[in-house]
Amino acid sequence: MSQKTDEEIAKRVQRGDVASFGLLIGQYEEKILRYAKKFLLDREDSKDLVQEVFIKAYTNIQSFDTKKKFSPWIYRIAHNEFVNAVKKRSRIPVFSFDPDLFLPHPIADETSDSEAEKKELKQTLDQSLEKISAKYREPLILYYFEELDYKEIAEILQIPTSTVGVRLRRGRMMLKKLMSPYD
């Protein structure tokens, strides 16, 4: 039997095939849980929040356009759920007005980091997640751990691709500073 794409599986769920939704959960459970743990800094309710993500995904599956990619759609639900959870706990806005969203930036190229550098940055990121603000932490996690490209991250965060480039560049600079604090 040929491997079905996420979008095809989502279409079956829309037609009422509950078992297919199980397949989608299977595909994304680990990824979304990893995203939750890293973004929410290992909060004890991460699992509950991820469960809520899948509940919302099922409830709203009819709003998914099967001509588009499924992964940014489910990550977007996760992003909303996690940001709301942070807001609830901290009672302060996670992201206030961001001038980076307002002004245009030159289109950023995808990073040209070497594999070794990428690995090193990923390791530093993993060890110093709490030292980086949510605004920069989230795109870094989506890029280095979830291995999503700029366009997909832009769709998840609903910001321009050029802003994703700006946030990743600044996030990377923070990581490099953490790697060599005396430079």
Partner 1 sequence: MIDERSNKKSIRERVLEAVKGGDIKMKPKWHFVLRAVLGIIGACILLFAILYLASFIIFILRRTGVWFVPVFGSRGWFEFLLALPWLLILLSLAFIAVLEVFVRKYSFAYRRPMLYSVLTILFLAIVGGFVVASTPLHGRIFRYAEEHQLPFARPFYRQFGDRGFENIHPGKVTGVTQNGFTIQSRGGEALTVVVTSATRLPLGGGFEAGDFVVVFGERASNTVQAFGVRKITEMEE
Return residues touching partner 1 (CB under 8 A): 14, 18, 21-22, 25-26, 29, 33, 47, 50-51, 54-55, 58-63, 101-105, 154-155, 158-163
- Helices 46-59 & 18-39, crossing angle to 10 degrees? 140
Radius of gyration over every alpha carbon of the chain, rounded to an integer in angstroms: 17
**What's the min distance (Å) between Cβ of 141 and partner 1?**
19
Q: What is the nearest approach in angstroms of partner 1 to the Cβ of residue 9?
A: 14
Widest distance between CA atoms in the chain: 58
Q: What minimum distance in Å lies between the beta carbon of 90 and partner 1?
A: 22
Calculate the alpha carbon distances from 25 to 15, 31, 39, 107, 112 in Å. 17, 10, 20, 34, 33
| 56 or 176: CB nearest partner 1 | 56
Determine the straight-line distance between the first and last CA of the chain, rounded to whole angstroms: 56
Q: Which is nearer to partner 1, 51 or 111 (CB)?
A: 51
How many residues make up the chain in this entry?
Answer: 183
When the beta carbons of 59 and 133 are compared against partner 1, the nearer one is 59
Distance of closest approach, residue 34 Cβ to partner 1, in angstroms? 13
